[in-house]
Structure 1
């Protein structure tokens, strides 16, 4: 079915990459109210959105998702400005060092976990608490009080390759998948839809700058059955779908978008 999105979106990691392009995708489907959150300014995202859709309204928040008080305040600011919260994308994350367990320091491991896992949990907890206070948009059997999507990774489903020994990252993303499933089961009967997206390799500007013959990332690209990395737009479109009524029966999924990488 064709779908459109109406309501208020809250996106962490919105300043660049997947978060930025998820905002663009959701705007294409009709969202006009955005809370855009990042540790860095979201100026580029806001400017692009308003250039294409002058009627868009935004709340811009610089925040560390591992800061509990800041997370709670950001939800309060969003609701104060827009009245409710309909779509949340918990996307902020870091890659961490490419090290195996015997190599990584405890502090480095815990930093990855604090942002990629605890940060997602803090945001999701605040979002759930708000969504439970509000009614569904409509009386349709497809409708929910709100929809949450967490950015996991294909390395939240499988272990990383020998070329990419991202132990802390994979651990954190497996935890995001578990968190998504546990809360999805608990919240679905209460009218909140929760899913995760598990992207494969995505052609971000950083990845693009490392692509050359003989590089680690070029070696990884050859392993993808479709022989390319995802565009950021493609992942944004999947996120928009997961928030839509077209995915109304998709609950607690960890939807893989990896060009077939984990099928092997």
Structure 2
């Protein structure tokens, strides 16, 4: 496997799912120093073990337990990463929660706020701190004629680009992911002149134990997967590789973009 990434990275949501798969992919593709951030310490230990299995002595791993919805916690996490690594070349804001799957009339204000706090406000808090650090960094050449102070990739969703089906209502989640896309595009335009790129990945339905169980039971989720032309759920590793592309110099002329990884769902 050729190494297409260099330098150091920080990734939130690293303790499970897409965040965990992407953490391993970062090491596989050449990142030498990784700060793994999550609220779940046990999950971070598991991710570290997975990285070690593939890259025993090639990758320095720093575990940071932090809550992305807490301003102080986010600022401390970024400071810790910079203190240990000197700079942040790649920042991946993957942390998120699904929220309730029910009509707005049945959603409590507390439920709505929790999803927004983690998925949207938390992502913005992380990006703000990452940008503050990247603006202080010297730009490095990543390919002939192209320099970079840093790259940010945010976790959006196909439901950050469109609405959900009427039988799978999820207003808090969909609102949060539309917000992620708005923040991504706004800051991508603002900081492009500073040699900082910001993009978002928009996955469709991902293979998890919970999702597989829901699909096997039929009903709404089975109907949703039947709308996917590829006819299956995505493996977390497939989304991780798309994130690696956005983080790498291969996408050096992309900023403010939404990379859809959904098996054809939104094209159907």
Q: How far has the Cα of 1:225 moved from its partner?
A: 0.9
Identify which of 206, 210, 217 aligns with 2:210: 206
Give the one of 80, 87, 92 matched to 1:89. Answer: 92
Matches within 5 A, 1:15-34: 15-34=15-34
Measure, in 2, the Cα distance between the counterparts of 1:208 and 1:36.
27
Could you state the TM-score of these two structures normalised by the residue count of structure 1?
0.96
Q: Judge conservation of contact 2:215–2:225 (CA < 8 Å) in 1.
A: no
Residue deviations 1:95-115, cap 9 Å, x none? 111122222111111111011
Alignment of 1:140-159 (within 5 A): 140-159=144-163
Instruction: Give 1:219 shift.
Output: 2.1
Instruction: Give, in whole Å, the separation in 2 of the partners of 1:137 and 1:51.
Output: 30
Kindly indicate whether the alpha-carbon contact (under 8 Å) linking 1:225 and 1:259 is maintained by their aligned counterparts in 2: yes
Does residue 12 of structure 1 match 2:12?
A: yes
Residue matched to 1:61: 64
Tell me if the contact between 1:200 and 1:230 (Cα under 8 Å) persists in the aligned partners.
Answer: yes
Deviates more, 1:116-125 or 1:218-227: 218-227
**TM score, norm. by length of structure 2:** 0.95
User: Where in structure 2 are there 5+ consecutive unaligned residues?
Assistant: none
After TM superposition, give the deviation of residue 229 of structure 1 in Å. Answer: 1.3
The Cα RMSD (Å) is 1.3
**Post-superposition, which runs of at least 4 consecutive aligned residues in structure 1 deviate over 6 A?**
none
Give 3-state SS (helix, strand or coil) of 1:110's partner.
helix
C-alpha distance in 2 between matches for 1:29 and 1:210: 33
Q: 2:134 touches 2:196 (CA, 8 Å); kept in 1?
A: yes
Change in 2 beyond 3 A, CA 1:213/1:71: closer
Select which of 203, 207, 231 maps to 2:235. Answer: 231
